[in-house]
Amino acid sequence: MGIAAKILAKKGRQAVNRIKDAFSPVPEKEPDYPLGLHLNAILRFDPTDFILAAQDLKISLPAGDISVMAVGEFNSLGISFHRFYLQDLKDEEWVLQAAESRQDLELILFQTIDEVYPDDWDFWLNDRTGLIGYKDFHTPDQVEYNRVFRNPGPNWSSPIEFQESIRGGGQNLSIAHAMMLYGRDVQMKTAEKLTEYLLVSKEEDDEGVLVRIMAGVPVNPMSLTIL
């Protein structure tokens, strides 16, 4: 289950067409989020990169306008991150992650492509061969992604751990992550290549624990329309 769906479940709402009722019953001051983003903001993404590389991407393009349902915050590797949990009227979910460094703002649009509820956690977290942290990761259709951090480096590297605080609809969630980021180059119809990321993360909250696998692509902040 995606974060937006969890927020709606906690709120006791099931229909996506009640989004505004669910998230704006009491006005409250919003923190200063990157690009002026906020709860209930409507986003529109430039489809150019998706069109040029769509056949080879694991992530799909949000169709039409999409709403910010919840916002997550965490710090990792000395960088402040915000995650904007998005949902459209068909219940599809995406995550727009914003990393704020001193130099620039990096945006990556993620979409969950798989959720795994392991019986054998050693398979995922073993400190020599665990999939989360290994030098490469293969999807079930044998697409290979290489570890972004400590590459080149040892065969296995410790997952990056952090605690994410999420708010939306008057509800709060806390998720403990142990993750590793992977990437690969995707040839576009032009001569350029697009990096597609794969974020593999153990997620644990008060409802349980799972492995979430998300595919993602960079987003140019200038190409994002915020309504």
**pLDDT by residue (tens digit) across 125-163?**
999 999 999 999 999 999 999 999 999 999 999 999 999
- pLDDT tens for 24-78 read 444 456 788 999 999 999 999 988 888 887 678 999 888 789 999 999 999 998 8
Answer yes or no: is 35 within a domain. Answer: yes
The vertex-175 CA angle with 121 and 33, nearest 5°, equals 140
Answer yes or no: is 225 within a domain. Answer: no
| 34 burial via Cβ count (<10 Å: 0-12, 13-18, 19+) | middle
> Residue 50: phi, psi to the nearest 5?
-65, -40
Percent of the chain at pLDDT > 70 equals 90
Answer yes or no: is 224 within a domain. Answer: no
Q: Which two tokens stand for residue 129?
A: 């061969």
For residue 20, the enclosing domain spans 3-219
Statement: the pTM of the whole predicted model exceeds 0.85? yes
What is the C-alpha separation between 218 and 194, in angstroms, rounded?
Answer: 8
Q: Which of 134, 175, 181 is nearest to 160 (CA)?
A: 181
Q: How many domains does the chain have?
A: 1
